Amino acid sequence: MMRFQGIAVSSGVAIGKAVVIGQDVFSIPSQYVAADAVEQEISRFHQAVETAAKAIERNRDLVTQELGPKSGAIFQAHLEILRDQKIHADIERLIREKQYSPERACTEVLRRYADVFRRLPNPEFAERAYDVMDIERQLLRALLGEPRRSLSHLTSPAILLARNLTPSEVANLDRKMIKGFVTELGGPTSHTAIVAQGLGIPAVVGTGPFLAEVAGGDTVIVDGDRGIVIVHPDEETLREYDQEVRSIQAFTAELEKLHDLPAVTLDGTPINIYGNIEFPHEAVLCLKHGAEGIGLYRTEFLYLGRSDLPSEEDHYRAYREVIEAMGDRIVTIRTFDLGADKVAAQFGFEKEPNPCLGLRSIRLALRHLELFRTQARAILRASVLGNIQVMFPMIATVAELRQAKLIWADVMEDLAENGIPFRHDIPIGIMVEVPSVAIMIDRFLDEVDFVSIGTNDLIQYTLAVDRTNRNVVSMYNPTDPAVLRLIAYTIQEANRKGVPVSLCGQMASHPLYTMLLIGLGLRKLSVTSSAIPEVKKVCRSVTLEQCERVARRALEMENARNIHAFLREQLVKVVPAFARMI
């Protein structure tokens, strides 16, 4: 039996026979072209671009249809790279000036671009190198025909083991045949990982070299929760994992039955579960999982992945789609939170040395009022269609909040003067994601209709740990006592003053924290749609008293690790099935 540790990127366990595939080996038949064939070869390159574009468009449509536009956007980005004029010019120059064959020119130019990405310090950007390599393969495939890597010959279910898989290869996997996959390369934020999650295929990436140790047909276990790969499992391990697969299936079926049941504790306290969305179409998913409303609509995604700014109509259409999907349920629209890791290229703003501490979010809105006002107009116009509330992100001072409210009132006045209908009673709230707000929360509560705790940033700013930096990931602890104190104080003060409070950071989406958060006094959680059943399961398995005891004990404890272990122990006591997932 051999065991390899990688990075768990897509949950679940798969057991099956290995199919091992190596690197695509495209052998390039000729490296140079004759001088008088240059123009003909350049047009062959352009034809290949069109063929590759069609293949990528097919992948985009397939993935968009199955997984929604967010995943499809990966391939839209591939298309943009494929059609990049600078890349075309570089390739044409090599064909024209050095008489390279289009195959060689494509390989040389795209590998150079991939290297630039690979050297970037931010691992998320560095992983974009794989996307560039994917485009190189698509172009070579268009120029030379299919390499030997086709998986269409598979006739029985298998586990795919590869040095690397590109997002398009994962998107094209036959889910009936491929039960799981493992790659030697790849990281947690790669698009390959994102597509795998969307498809629900258990996957482990970044194991390092191990393919030499495996032969096709070997039995392999992929544990997509723990990042473990076992080759040639012994009888006992196989039995244990078989049992796990059965219990995962049973638990998933149990969770599915909760969709239409309320999130209420065993002693009758209702917990309101709302959904977080980035794109309008996700509202339907939230409803499907039983969300009572939208607790966070991250509207900045309207600005990402496009080359121009969204117009007032673009904003309006997006909000209308969400509001109409949600009927009379509450939709919390957060004004754009751009900057830091959500950068809109079209602004062309100056690069900042510390973007998380720079001109992001509400600061950007207050500096570029035309953007803020355009969005505010669209939100206000859409307000007559349903039940919305508006939320300002990244507020750090009361002065900033007042300024944002002033602009909001000014836009309302404008609309009123022009006879454009809107609701005058839209509740206005803020995110609590900067420690200064949590510390001074009593002052803010006097000036808002509701607050929502954004733990993703609150943790980052309290502990001075970049939430996207893999090097400090072990220091990014939701259970750090300092973080818990800020959350506890915010909830306590909001409840004391009777101002509605919710939590919409990732902490709310993880069942590990549900008891703690209820125990701290929260009655409203806003979570990723897929996490709704799990969180609901916890709510329906505990009493309020149990949760309060857990929260009291956690607040007394000294360090994040012990609190995490304690919460895990308490959760597993009430829902044992969570033991393997956490």
Alpha-carbon torsion (486, 492, 497, 502), positive or negative: positive
DSSP string for residues in 343-370: --GGG-PPP-SSGGGSS-THHHHHHSHH
- For residue 457, state whether it binds Mg ion (rule: CB under 5 A): yes
Helices 102-118 and 38-67: crossing angle in degrees, nearest 10, is 50
Distance CA 420, CA 383 (A): 11
- Count of C-beta atoms within a 10 Å radius of residue 292: 21
511 binding partner (options Mg ion, ligand PEP, none; Cβ < 5 to 8 Å by kind): none
Q: Give buried/exposed letters for 151-179 (b at 16+ CB in 10 A, else e).
A: eeeeeebbbbbbbbbbbbbbbbbeeebbb
Instruction: Say which residues have a Cβ less than 8 Å from residue 493's Cβ, sequence separation at least 6.
Output: 441, 442, 445
Distance CA 486, CA 402 (A): 23
Give the H/E segment covering residue 59.
Answer: helix 38-67
Locate 531 and state its tokens: 């996490």
528 binding partner (options ligand PEP, Mg ion, none; Cβ < 5 to 8 Å by kind): none
Closest distance between Mg ion and the C-beta of residue 497, in Å? 23
Give whichever of 48 and 522 is closer to Mg ion, judged by the CB atom. 522
Distance CA 273, CA 264 (A): 10
- For residue 433, state whether it binds Mg ion (rule: CB under 5 A): yes
Give whichever of 126 and 296 is closer to ligand PEP, judged by the CB atom. 296
Site string for ligand PEP, 442-471 (x = CB under 6 A): ------------xxxx--------------
504 binding partner (options Mg ion, ligand PEP, none; Cβ < 5 to 8 Å by kind): ligand PEP
Q: What is residue 334's DSSP assignment?
A: E
- For residue 433, state whether it binds ligand PEP (rule: CB under 6 A): yes
Q: Which residue is nearest to Mg ion (CB)?
A: 457
One-letter amino acid of 115: D
Closest distance between ligand PEP and the C-beta of residue 436, in Å? 15
169 binding partner (options ligand PEP, Mg ion, none; Cβ < 5 to 8 Å by kind): none
**Active-site residue, from 78, 106, 191, 564:** 191
Closest distance between Mg ion and the C-beta of residue 393, in Å? 6
Q: What is residue 531's DSSP assignment?
A: G
- For residue 504, state whether it binds ligand PEP (rule: CB under 6 A): yes
**Active-site residue, from 286, 504, 539, 547:** 504
Closest distance between ligand PEP and the C-beta of residue 89, in Å? 37
- For residue 278, state whether it binds ligand PEP (rule: CB under 6 A): no
539 as an active site residue: the answer is no
Give whichever of 478 and 533 is closer to ligand PEP, judged by the CB atom. 478
Burial of residue 127 (CB within 10 Å: 0-12, 13-18, 19+) is buried
Scan residues 220-259 and list those touching ligand PEP (CB under 6 A): none
191 as an active site residue: the answer is yes
Locate 6 and state its tokens: 């990688």
Distance CA 387, CA 305 (A): 29
44 binding partner (options Mg ion, ligand PEP, none; Cβ < 5 to 8 Å by kind): none
Closest distance between ligand PEP and the C-beta of residue 431, in Å? 6
Using CB under 6 A as the binding criterion, the count of chain residues that bind ligand PEP stands at 10
Distance CA 287, CA 269 (A): 21
Locate 323 and state its tokens: 């509001």
Site string for ligand PEP, 319-338 (x = CB under 6 A): ------------------x-
Residue ranges binding Mg ion (CB under 5 A): 433, 454, 457
Active centre residues (catalytic): 191, 504
Residue ranges binding ligand PEP (CB under 6 A): 296, 298, 337, 433, 454-457, 504-505
